Amino acid sequence: MKDSMTNETSRPNRSGKPAGKPRFQGQSHGQNKPRGEHGGKPHFRNDKPNTNHRRMRAEPEEKFIRRAIPEIDTPFTRMGIDPRVAINLEGLGIETPSPIQEKSIPGIVAGRDLLGLAQTGTGKTAAFGLPMLTRLLNIGRKPEPRTCRALILAPTRELATQIAENIDAYAVGTPIRQFRVVGGASINVQVMRMERGVDVLIATPGRLIDLIERGAVDLSQTQYLVLDEADQMLDIGFIHALRRIAKMLPRERQTLLFSATMPKLMEELADSYLTDPLKVAVNPPGQAAAKIEQGVHFVNQGDKATLLAEYLSKHMNELAIVFGRTKHGSEKLSKLLEKWGYKVAAIHGNKSQGQRERALAGFRAGETKVLVATDVAARGIDIPEVAHVYNYDLPNVPENYVHRIGRTARAGRDGRAIAFCAPAEIGELRAIEKAMKAQIPVVGGEVPFEASKMRERGGPAGGRPAAPGGQGARKRPARRPSRAPKSTQRA
């Protein structure tokens, strides 16, 4: 359960789930049963209300730790994962290793550095988390004050939280503790918690540097390092923080770097962090998952909101993420949709951590159906029920398109990604298609309209694509209504 004051994710109870309830690929709701109820695995009864985790944990946990190492044989133990960790996986729906796990776990267990080209949704958290826990259990010593034995760096608070929840779930029944340090939460509380040291520190680079500068974190004993979504860390501008952190780590360490794309700067970063890495790729960079049905509309900027409302109305009970480019634009759009009666929340850089977490929790629970988000806030979101992604504004970094649409069609489900392309965004669209090496099908047979040709003809700044025959653009705007269509309004 997460303590919003401390940012610390307390250990999940013996019934096996962390508070954030990560769902797992190939697992439907309700399958996620507590271990004690299904499968007959060891658990401790906990009849008291779950109010004081620290006090309640102590006794049963000690007994559990002294328990014999379970004798189990699973595909994960066969790859070298410690049975004390592997025993937790079945209850989480993780039974067969995913391709990234199959390709990387044996090498990581053997101590190799790794360069993994993989997006979220491929099972990369378990790919680095399970060998990490295995190693920490096998070394079995306590962290010294202010140190961490393993460090996981992630670009955003949301991703850090997800990683923390997953690590907690994998580590149930072991003495391994994680602590998450991210911006937007009290640094003093984090300083105090770090005084005891921690097995696994999960951090965003900026906050980690702040803590190091205050003398609250010492990386000299960190022997296992993970850089997750490294390309996004570079996009956000963490390169300097990452260079500084690299210098503080001991040479003798194992490093794993995961990235969905491999921009030039990444090669430099990989060179400075990794030694003779094992290279593993699951989705070739820039290629979208095959199960996502994609489409693009050519539409006036001013008509996008109405078009979006039409889509949302058609799929009222399904979860949708709408991507805007700016914080301000996303906030404005979410307010408009709210006015039109949609249950909507927004997450972007101007929202506090609390607001972002509440928005995500409401969306995850299906209380809000529409999440309007910017790239920074939304990347890494792993909610299998997301059925639609709308690229309300096209991203100006082509790779972000792949990340955005990767929020849908997760955990074996189908998903739809619709892009709204205004005439001024044709350049972005073509760059995305070039990066993906594929064309995005045009929805409804609209004719692509190239902005440059439009300008030559003296057309409006934002017009519907010219109809075949070259006339429609100026006379017929794509979407007229300046208010939501009646059918979209809700009580």
Binding site for ligand AMP (CB under 6 A): 22-26, 93-94, 96-98, 101, 120-126, 166, 382
Burial of 139 (0-12, 13-18, 19+ CB in 10 A): exposed
Minimum distance, C-beta of residue 400 to ligand AMP, in the bound complex (Å): 17
Which residue(s) pair with 152 in the sheet?
Answer: 202, 226
Query: Could you tell me the smallest distance in angstroms from the CB atom of residue 272 to ligand AMP?
Result: 25
Q: Which is nearer to ligand AMP, 86 or 136 (CB)?
A: 86
**154 vs 432, beta carbon nearer ligand AMP:** 154
- Number of neighbouring beta carbons within 10 Å of residue 36: 18
Distances from the Cα of 215 to the Cαs of 101, 220, 416, 459, in angstroms? Answer: 36, 12, 47, 61
What Cα–Cα distance (Å) separates residue 132 from each residue in 246, 348, 382?
A: 19, 32, 21
Helices (H), 83-122: 83-86, 99-109
User: Closer CB to ligand AMP, residue 27 or residue 313?
Assistant: 27
Q: List beta partners, residue 388.
A: 320, 416
State which amino acid sits at residue 324.
Answer: G
- C-beta closer to ligand AMP: residue 255 or 283: 283
Return the residue matching tokens 């809000």: 368
Provide the minimum distance between the beta carbon of 103 and ligand AMP in the complex, in angstroms, as a whole number.
Answer: 12
- Smallest gap from Cβ 179 to ligand AMP, in A, equals 19
CB-nearer residue toward ligand AMP: 23 or 369: 23
Least spacing, CB of residue 398 vs ligand AMP, in Å: 22
Q: How far is the CB of 98 from ligand AMP (least distance, A)?
A: 4
CB of 117 or CB of 309, closer to ligand AMP: 117
Nearer of residues 109 and 239 to ligand AMP, judged by Cβ: 109
379-391 burial: b if 16+ Cβ within 10 Å, else e:
bbbbbbbbbbbbb
**CB-CB contact of 38 with 45 (8 Å):** no
How many other C-beta atoms are found inside a 10 Å radius of the C-beta of residue 443? 16
As measured in angstroms, the least distance from the Cβ of 304 to ligand AMP is 30
Which residue's CB is nearer to ligand AMP, number 180 or number 325?
A: 180
Q: Are the C-beta atoms of 94 and 258 separated by less than 8 Å?
A: no
For residue 123, the minimal CB distance to ligand AMP (Å) is 3
SS3 call for 416: strand
